Amino acid sequence: MYKAVVLGAAGGIGQPLALLLKSNPLVKELALFDIVNTPGVAADLSHIATPAKVSGYLPPDDGLKKALTGADIVVIPAGVPRKPGMTRDDLFKINAGIVRDLATGIATAAPKAAVLVISNPVNSTVPIVAEVLKKHGVFDAKKCVVIKRPTLLWLFFDFFPKRLFGVTTLDVVRASTFVSEVLGDLSLASSVTIPVVGGHSGVTIVPLFSQSSHPLPAGFSPSDLQALTTRVQFGGDEVVKAKDGAGSATLSMAYAGAEFAGKVLRALNGEKGIISPSFVHLSCDKAGGDSLKKVIGKELDFFSVPVELGPEGVAKLHSLGNLTEFEQSLIQAALPDLESNIEKGVSFIESPKL
């Protein structure tokens, strides 16, 4: 039984996510932190007849530290959402600083916790958390040695962040739902699985429909495939447009966040064989990161890949499998944005001027 913490718990995602975590039998303690309203949200949830003990914290009196102390898993949906016409990258100006400060709290009060980042832009906020954890010397590190030149022995230390995850589960959930719609049977949605790799914004979202557990119908044309891919890549825009200024996906994100958090908790609890895509650091582990870097053909430090979860967080990075020519072209199209999003997050911590 574990302690779960939600940072940004009074928001559109935070509240339903906290509700779902309160219903998870593996959660024995649920701590809610936000800059507003958490005492009320906690009081409300605390009347639900499930075992988790709920408490709410605000910034005064070391609220962040109190919420985080003893955490096994921390989920971060804090920050501003998009309005129509904005990209996720437009959120960087506000959310980068919020995520940096919360990561600093985690580094000092809960350095062993699994950290699940929902706040956008995920492609940049995850590198921000990694850099903050590194600065505090608590980025779970697995050192490896790479001889870069035969004559000069360069020692290159890489890090293995076993516990840091960018939450891309909403893309996976959308892919499953949209495929079940194409198959004309929504009751299939929860059993359809499709790896979605790359990152979490526009063209960096790469669904691998060729690996769908349920094949697309015969006669599904290349233009149908392009349209389905675009729908997953821009599913977030669909919701932002429909909400018309009132924010972005909250309920589907809470569902997806609780799904992923539930898997991480089950793996922490010893369950084996749980695999889910997530935006993670590619380590220099030969079986994982290095071979992935070869497949994508670029030295990116972060990428969403199918991750096998374990008692320490990331147990193993899985390969992207056999890619079609179309999927390879999608990955190539994702790389420039991914590279600049990652670099933007890293340099925000190296030099925090915008």
Ligand X SMILES: O=C(O)C[C@H](O)C(=O)O
Ligand Y SMILES: NC(=O)c1ccc[n+]([C@@H]2O[C@H](COP(=O)([O-])OP(=O)(O)OC[C@H]3O[C@@H](n4cnc5c(N)ncnc54)[C@H](O)[C@@H]3O)[C@@H](O)[C@H]2O)c1
Return the number of the residue (17 or 133) whose C-beta is nearest ligand Y.
Answer: 17
239 binds, among ligand Y, ligand X, none (CB under 5 to 8 A by kind): ligand X
Catalytic residue among 47, 136, 200, 214: 200
Residues 21-60 that bind ligand Y (CB under 6 A): 33-36
Does the annotation flag 345 for ligand binding?
Answer: no
The answer to whether residues 93 and 345 touch, using CB atoms and an 8 Å cutoff, is no
Residues 90-129 that bind ligand X (CB under 6 A): 120
The answer to whether residues 47 and 79 touch, using CB atoms and an 8 Å cutoff, is no
The answer to whether residues 180 and 188 touch, using CB atoms and an 8 Å cutoff, is yes
Any idea how long the chain is? 354
Characterize the bridge pairing of strands 205-207 and 164-166: unpaired
The answer to whether residues 89 and 80 touch, using CB atoms and an 8 Å cutoff, is no
Residue 164 and residue 228: Cα distance in Å, rounded? 30
Q: Considering CB under 6 A, how many residues would be counted as binding ligand Y? A: 34
Joined tokens for residue 101: 């400060």
The answer to whether residues 114 and 72 touch, using CB atoms and an 8 Å cutoff, is yes
When asked if residue 172 is in the footprint of ligand X (CB under 6 A), the reply is no
Q: Which of 55, 67, 75, 119 binds ligand Y (CB under 6 A)?
A: 119
| C-alpha distances in Å from residue 209, one per residue of 76, 95, 172, 178, 220 | 29, 32, 11, 11, 12
When asked if residue 88 is in the footprint of ligand X (CB under 6 A), the reply is yes
| C-alpha distances in Å from residue 55, one per residue of 90, 106, 157, 167 | 33, 18, 40, 24
35 binds, among ligand X, ligand Y, none (CB under 5 to 8 A by kind): ligand Y
Catalytic site includes residue 281: no
Characterize the bridge pairing of strands 53-57 and 302-310: unpaired
3-state secondary structure of 317: strand
**Residue type for 18, please?**
A
| C-alpha distances in Å from residue 124, one per residue of 279, 302, 347 | 11, 10, 10
Return the number of the residue (56 or 257) whose C-beta is nearest ligand X.
Answer: 257
When asked if residue 79 is in the footprint of ligand Y (CB under 6 A), the reply is yes
CB of 239 to ligand Y, least distance (A): 8
Part of the chain binding ligand Y (CB under 6 A), chosen from 66-74, 118-126, 147-155, 180-188: 118-126
One character per residue 232-251, x = contact with ligand Y (rule: CB under 6 A): ---------------xxxx-
CB of 105 to ligand Y, least distance (A): 9
Does the annotation flag 14 for ligand binding?
Answer: yes
Q: Which of 4, 5, 8, 107 binds ligand Y (CB under 6 A)?
A: 8
- Chain positions contacting ligand Y, by CB under 6 A: 7-8, 10-14, 33-36, 77-82, 91, 95, 98, 101-102, 118-120, 122, 167, 170, 200, 247-250, 253
Instruction: Detail the residues annotated as belonging to a binding site for substrate.
Output: 82, 88, 120, 174
**Which positions are annotated as active-site residues?**
200
- Chain positions contacting ligand X, by CB under 6 A: 81-82, 88, 120, 170, 236, 239-240, 248-249
